[in-house]
Amino acid sequence: MPTAIAGMIIAAINAGITIRKQSMTTANHNIPAMKQSMSSLNRYRESLQQLQSTWDNLSLLSQLSGTGTDMSETRQAFGKVTTDVLDSLAQETLNKTITAITAKAQVAVDIVVRNLFERTADIGFLSTDDNLSNFLDKHLTGSADEDDYMLLRERFSEYVQKYSVYFNVILLDASGNILVQLDEDNPARQSHDPLIKEALHSDEPYIEVFRHSDLSPRQDSSLIYARRVCHDDSDTALGVLCLCFRFENEMDGIFKDLIRKNEWCVGLLLDESDRVVASSDHYQIPLGAPLEHAQGQDWILTRFAGRLYLAVTRETKGYQGYMGPGWRGHVMIPLEHAFEDNVANIIAGIDSKLLKKVMRSPLLFSATLLGIPKQAATIQSKLNQSVWNGNIWQKRDASHNAQQNNFSKMLLWEISNTGFKTQNVVEKTVADLYQTVVAVMLENSRFFASLAVDIMDRNLYERANDCRWWALTATFQRLLSQPELSMQERNAITKVLVYINKAYTVYSNLVVFDRHGCIVAASNPAYQRLVGETITADWVKAALQLRHSQDYVVSDFEPSPLYGNQPTYIYAAAIRHQEQTVGGIGIVFDSTPQFSAMLADALPRSADNDVVKGSFTLYVDEKLRVISSTSRDFAVGSHFTVHPELCKLAPGSTGFDIALYNGNYYAVGARASAGYREYKGAGDSYENHVTALIFIPLGKAADINAMIDSENLLQQNQFKPASNQAAAADAEEYATFYIGKHWLGLPASHIVEAVQANNIKPLPDTSSVLEGMLKHEDNVVPVLNLARLTGIDFQPPEQDKQIVIVQAGPKLPKFGLMVSALGEIPAIAPADIESLSSLFATVNIPAEGIAKVMTDNGENLLILLSAVNLITRISDAVQQINARSATGHVIENREDDLLEEAA
């Protein structure tokens, strides 16, 4: 007896699972533990195990009853298909989880590294603030009074109000004494941290440490940035400035964005010794815990605190050469929750027609996977042919009594029905497989759109901070308070702007303007020609009306002469002196390369870190204007029309859909900007609705349509039992078949069997209704092309052709009918047949009647053919061929040759 289907499936699963992406590997001994957690896989495996028992029983009964149906080949074929599809489902289920947690691990470390890159610039710039060096001069000479201390502390407060990523700013002298700090509750008054000595003697632009420090004695670990403070004209260190970063607060925000409340995964950062430095769930994975990393592997199974986890580890990609403190992103998910089946919820809102389209995409699936439903249908179709033949043989076998015939028919039906059930499980498994892959693409699109928005909001948060902080520059305040500026004073302002612009390369230009909006200095030499001109833009007027150091304005995204008449954002703040507005500063964001870089960083990438071919991203504002795009099809300033409803999301909301654009299907993910920290938050007057969209290709419409059209040509044998309604005593069974969509039939007593259309030898006259000659048993029989004969415009694909062998009586010749599929075998009473002799007299159909037959799809019309009429048509065709032949005996004289060739 052949190997049981369920047994083969279990053996295949136990053999191991490999991820669709070839780079994903892990130890085989981890596989059994994972597959037990795959609920959808187990559900289908259990269904097939139940069918196995049915197959065993039917196989035995079939042999005992002598139905003539051999199921061993069918069972083996189904076994191979189910093995393939369950293996593939396991692969994609694992891949779905790995893809999701890998992206989270990568983003967790890359986002924080991006943030810390800004901090390295902050410490470098703030340490050169004249207010610090002047204060240290006074302190060294003993001339600093209480007002000096208060003024410097107020300046630190102003700084942290804007750059709220810091919880403390500390200024120390060269001996490690804390002179001024923002946090009055900090008990530290002196530091012996080696960081101080290192900063005093280092020429590096920053010193970065993450550990316990006596600068923040109440914290187990602190992330601190330090640099020495000197005069501009001297390298002598006067003291050290330290910025204390709100690390735990920052990571809480990152993890909140990355991991939704209903997710089970734990986001982590690991240090170089694989200890946890940040955790999204301290109760599950506490800080300081040593963990097993997955470096060098795409994923691992690891045990922690008596629980099994699936884990991934990712190194940072760095940002502009900065690699951070040496941390790695790490995500763990409990194995029992790693493969929870949420695919149906993900795709619930997707148009079913579009979903069915992309589920046939050659871009997403291999030809093998796409062919599984067709393969299963073909196996079932062959089984139906065997069952159809079994019914025919029962009809012709006079040795069986009525009771035996009824039993055999019921058994044959159960065989076919079990095949249908097996095929149905395979198709459902394949549908789950396809949907899982599409769901991954949709989730990826949403995830990377969220990443694009997060990168933008975090970046522009810094811009809002910069303009407000630089507006507090003492040189600007003092000089602009004068009625007029000399050339030397203008140059002094220009010098500061140039220095800032060199340190902050995200700006194309920085300008300072007076209380009338007249430009007095610009950092970019290319715009020196504009000095002395008055800016009439609305953002200048708005900036000059600001009254608080926390206020700022932003221009619309529009062309500006300060940016080569190209569209950009300009951030501006008022420069005030002694409670009076004396001018303003405008910082021109270099939007073209900066936005392009942000969008490029958010593009999905393959395992080899290559951008997924054909994917692109955009920023679109509430007026549906394109702000930036990685695709040439969407020019900056153009109107976005592909999926405009995705640009109407509420702040912070996400969405995704499937779109057809330029002949390609895409997974389109979107997320609306919600700001970062205070920027565009509830207390910020600035509002700017921007949506990030990402398009990930799902396949070419032409390729998908071609595949669907090809599959639609496939016509399967649709054998089903006769109606359960009691048949009339004089009812006769009819064997039915299809020519395309046309349903035809002959009395079952006239049918020998159905066979595959192999080795048909064509006749010289290709226009004849004769398809050719076929060897059947020890005879050669002519094959009639019924489609040509009846004028039906249909030619079945080569692999779908079948031949129904007909013999209307023992003394009548055998012949074959080429058909595209087999149908039911209903019992029809003579009274239910209507004559067609007059209706079809002129349409060349060899029919003798038509009957209305109830099927699963309702009432259908069956055309009943005449075997005698068909023999006549064959005879006429042979005579026409013989009449045109030189020998006059083409068919007869070729019979021996045909037999030999067929053999």
Q: Answer whether residue 691 is part of any domain.
A: yes
Query: Residue 835 is part of a domain; what is its CATH number?
Result: 2.40.50.180
534 and 614 housed in the same domain:
no
Question: What's the confidence (pLDDT) of residue 489?
Answer: 95
Question: Are residues 692 and 833 part of one domain?
Answer: no
Question: Does one domain contain both 887 and 792?
Answer: yes
pLDDT at residue 716 in the model:
80
Provide the domain limits for residue 501.
Answer: 471-591
Query: Within 10 A of 159 (CB to CB), how many other CB atoms are there?
Result: 21
Answer whether residue 515 is part of any domain.
Answer: yes
Alpha-carbon distances, residue 49 vs 4, 44, 75 (angstroms):
9, 9, 13
638 inside domain: yes
**Strand order of the sheet with strand 664-672?**
626-629, 616-621, 690-700, 664-672, 654-661
**Of residues 575, 590, 462, the one with CA closest to residue 523:** 590
What is d(CA 75, CA 84) in angstroms, rounded to the nearest whole number?
A: 14
Domain assignment present for 838: yes
Q: Which residue has the tokens 């006239």?
A: 750
Domain shared by 663 and 779, yes or no = no
CB 808 within 8 Å of CB 396: no
Both 760 and 890 in one domain: the answer is yes
pLDDT at 15: 31
Q: What is the reported pLDDT for 734?
A: 92
Cα 696 to Cα 259, 449, 452, 493, 616, distances in angstroms: 22, 11, 14, 48, 7
Domain boundary among 677, 699, 721: 699
Q: Is residue 115 situated within a structural domain?
A: no
Residues 741 and 601 in one domain: no
Q: Which residue among 448, 482, 500 closes a domain?
A: 448
Q: Beta strand pairing status for 328-334 and 307-315?
A: antiparallel
Q: Do 370 and 434 have their domain in common?
A: yes
Paired with 620 in beta bridges are 626, 691
At 8, which helix (H) or strand (E)? helix 5-15
The total of other beta-carbon atoms located within 10 Å of residue 827's CB is 18
Contact (CB, 8 A) for 106 and 314: yes
Q: What is the dihedral of CA 626, 629, 634, 638, to 10 degrees?
A: 20
Return the number of other C-beta atoms located less than 10 Å from residue 395's C-beta. 20
SS (H, E, C) 731-769: CEEEEEEEECCEEEEEEHHHEEEEEECCCCECCCCCCCC
User: What is the 8-class DSSP label of residue 533?
Assistant: P
Q: Which long-range contacts (CB under 8 A, 24 or more apart) does 497-503 make?
A: 497/521, 497/522, 497/523, 498/523, 500/125, 500/470, 503/121, 503/124, 503/125
Predicted local distance difference test score (pLDDT) of residue 283: 94
Beta-ladder partners of 215: none
Q: Which one, of 167, 186, 170, 171, lies nearest residue 139 by Cα?
A: 171
Shared domain for 686 and 765, answered yes or no, is no
* C-alpha–C-alpha distance, residues 333 and 864, integer Å: 64
Are the beta carbons of 637 and 567 closer than 8 angstroms? yes
- What per-residue confidence (pLDDT) applies to 845? 66
Q: CA 704, 709, 715, 720 torsion: positive or negative? A: positive
427 domain-assigned: yes
Shared domain check, 878 and 760 = yes
Last residue of a domain, one of 576, 591, 606: 591
- Whether 782 and 857 map to the same domain: the answer is yes
The answer to whether the beta carbons of residues 380 and 423 sit under 8 Å apart is: yes
DSSP, res 807: -
Q: What pLDDT sits at residue 675?
A: 94
CA distances from 372 to 377, 647, 666, 699 (A): 8, 38, 24, 19
Provide block-wise average pLDDT over 10 residues at a time, the chain (903 residues).
30 30 43 72 76 68 60 74 80 86 94 95 92 94 93 96 96 96 95 96 94 96 96 85 97 93 94 96 96 90 94 93 95 92 86 91 86 82 83 68 66 79 83 87 92 95 96 95 94 95 93 97 96 96 96 97 96 95 97 95 82 94 96 95 94 94 96 94 91 96 90 76 61 89 91 88 75 88 87 72 90 91 89 71 68 79 89 81 58 46 39
Task: Give domain status of residue 613, yes or no.
Answer: yes
Angle CA 696–702–705, to nearest 5: 105
> Is the domain of 737 the same as that of 875?
yes
Q: Tokens for 896?
A: 């021996």
Domain count, the chain: 4
Query: What tokens appear for 148 in the block?
Result: 């000096």
Other C-beta atoms closer than 10 Å to the C-beta of 533 total 12
Distance between CA atoms of residues 116 and 319, nearest Å: 10
Q: What residue type is assigned to position 643 of the chain?
A: H
State which H helix or E strand residue 583 sits in: strand 580-589
Give yes or no: residues 873 and 767 share one domain: yes
Task: Compute the half-sphere exposure of residue 444: CA atoms within 13 Å on the CB side of its CA.
Answer: 28
Closest CA to 718 of 439, 382, 303: 382
- CATH number assigned to the domain comprising residue 550: 3.30.450.20
Residue 65 lies in a domain: yes
Minimal CA–CA distance to 98: which of 329, 309, 312, 259? 312
Instruction: Please report the pLDDT score of residue 288 as a whole number.
Output: 96
- Give the whole-angstrom CA distance, residue 864 versus residue 747: 8
H helix intervals, 235-332? 247-258
Measured distance CA(142)–CA(148) in Å, rounded: 12
Q: The pTM is what?
A: 0.83
